[in-house]
A and B are shown apart, each in its own frame.
Chain A
């Protein structure tokens, strides 16, 4: 499904990612964990084309996607959410989700102009899909709200609704529960599981170990830009390297 091979990225002289290699399996939730600054968000940015990787290859559905621009990668079926939100503040909630369907839309502006009646039909269909997605995330009542009026937790849900709406091949979730309270966290956990049941493939970056152990099928651990371990949640829980990486950081912080 998604194969990362030897991905490296430096900022200035400092390595943020060093030769990261792992695979994401279709229909599974792969968790990417690691202490703060480990390079998790950087890796997500490289996959989605927000920043180019310095070297390595990224195969998505057997095709090379590294080097493509973000919008091209999105059109191949890679959707994502951001750790610190990239919503479209002046648009309504529904319009934000509609934007997620851009990847499915006909990209020729001229054609779009010429086929107005057909477009009308298509527009109604798109709205229906967007509303379905909002419904899934419990936001039906707020569909016409301006984005700026939503509380933080709902904004995160809108981003997820936008990422899932077009039925992408994979969704990259960068810390979907960061900044949420435990109740909201549990709710998102349920939603993510629901999404897997519906057949979605996900790469989930998360800090909340409990959540990760609960919902993921495969766990990859990143520390200082290196992939230090991977395996089932059970294996990771008992891996001494992982314990050291985590306890070491906590020890240093204390």
Chain B
């Protein structure tokens, strides 16, 4: 039987403001429990929310980056439910009129190619605190440091048809958010969390009953959870059963999901307009100003890197994976503009490979863009060969010294003096008269042997181009 998968995603993304959404408390991660709280985010009597306008600006910026409509008047609502980590007994969110609507993210997957995934809305809301039950006997602990941290909830259309598309969407969205600098989007810290709505149907049919997989914070788990859920639903239907609309929780240890609650017992959130906050009004001028300050997005950077610097699609893609990478590359070619392609190649292949082994990101690289550029220049001016350059890079990463210092210290300067190279060649020819005769007799393949001998004699320092040229000359006899 032919099944089609339908996936819609909801992403909760913490906005990286210094202070919380509705009070002045710090949003710093990892502090002692309940040290970043105040009467407002503790839900004390008589306390009122005051909106953090920076969080609004960052949500607008995100909306503009996904080609969405910014609602100049949006509204806050209360979502009512009881839970100990929700101090007020309601969450301030945007239910009826969100700040951002009708955007999209473009994705590419192997199986389905280029596709545009619709984004229904982005609304602002506040995070809840954290409840801790594990390792505690008959009590639970609550940490309200997270209570009131601003969130964007980014809701997609049910446009994805495979877990690969879902992951591609999430990765692109994640990348855009990181490029905009609107969120740390650190998944391990819960700054980028995903709920997946999954259903299956026969192509052309109405949507099937969906289930919601809650609160996943790794791309791998999300893919596993979706794949598991698809299989489970197909099995249920093929066994003659019906999928129950419910929320499910992914257990990443057991690699299975389990039911949280079914729709019959689902909360009625009793949404209604938040009377403590007037409608959120932004002017077109403010939106335009935010738009004017919008940084280049990954796809724009990729295109520019290809045209401006002549990079391969592969290199351009690698160097635009994160904002830090593209910034690093731009700093590199700004200071050392001689050969942007060589820079890109070496950065993508040699530097990043080595950093990966050192478990470092580009922003933690012990070699600065400028130092790396000097190394590129030493290849460009034939001071060293590419082969030597790799050794120099190793030494730079280890010692933090400049390329020139290492070249000097270790005497790695390339030999480009014709006289010195000729002398070496003649010595080798004299010592290998048999091979010289054979070469001259038509055994062309022996050319490589002579190159090897010269490079060996020069300890790799001879300029390879020159060696080739002089060998050809002298071997002619």
Are the chains A and B members of one assembly? Answer: no
Residues of A within 8 A of B (CB): none
Residues of B within 8 A of A (CB): none
